[in-house]
Each structure stands twice: as structure tokens, then as C-alpha cells.
Amino acid sequence: MEIEETLSQPQTDLSRTCAPSIDQCQLDYAAVRARILFGCYRKGDANDPETYTAAITAILAEYEPEVIQRVTDPRTGIPRQLKFMPNPAEVAEACDKSRVTIEAERKVVTLGYSWNGERWQKPKQHDHKG
């Protein structure tokens, strides 16, 4: 009976649709960034806007803030790549790609490389002539 009751109720309560490990601050940030994402598009045509918004917010909330920011930023994320409002799968794909990129960037930084605004620069080699 519990499953039937859950299925019959709208799943727009983000506290129930997100993983238990996601805190309210993460949900709030994801909701704000989802609003920015949606604001980049003309009026959407989701069948149920409330459920759509909750779904996108729940997906965003599964990722760290840097991923959320990158995929919702009009300069670097979904608004720059997609002409129409994304579906939940497209948001998840963008987040996954962004997470991989961010992890690679962090690894490159630990190797001593730095970003000069256009490209990665190799670490300076010390000359050991003596």
C-alpha cells in the first residue's frame, strides 16, 4: 500500500524526491540555479511545470555547487548549448560531463598546471645549473 500511496501523490516535494544525503542548503542552491536556467529560455511548455521544476532541481541537487553553477551559467552551460529547455535526462548528462571536466581540471592543477584564461600552462621547470 505504501508504494501505491506514493505513486498516487504528486512528487513535487523536493525533500522527498532528493537523496537523503542532500541537505536543504544544497536544495535551495539547486532551486535558485534552476530558476536561472529556466530564465534563459522563452516560456516553457512542460505538461506540469511544478513537477518539471522539481525534477530539474532534484537532479541538480545531486551534484556539487561547482557543477550546478557551471551547467546553469548562460556562458558555460546548458543555455549556451541547447536552444530549447532541457529535459531531465539532458540536465543529468550535462552535469555528468561537467563533473568529469571539473575533476580533470582539479587533477591538472595538482600536477602544477595553471589556467591563464585561454589555455593550461605547464609548471615552470627550475633550472638546476649551478
- Please write the tens of the pLDDT for every residue from 27-70: 999 999 999 999 999 887 777 888 999 999 999 999 999 999 99
Residue 36 lies in a domain: yes
* Residue 30: predicted pLDDT: 95
Residue 35 lies in a domain: yes
Residue 89 lies in a domain: yes
Cα distance between residue 115 and residue 83, in whole Å: 29
Residue 1 lies in a domain: no
Cα distance between residue 70 and residue 78, in whole Å: 9
Is the per-residue pLDDT at 75 higher than 80? yes
Residue 38 lies in a domain: yes
Rg of the chain taking only CA atoms, in angstroms? 19
pTM metric for this prediction: 0.74
Count of the separate structural domains present in the chain: 1
Query: pLDDT grade, residue 10 (50/70/90)?
Result: very low
Residue numbers of the domain that contains 20: 8-121
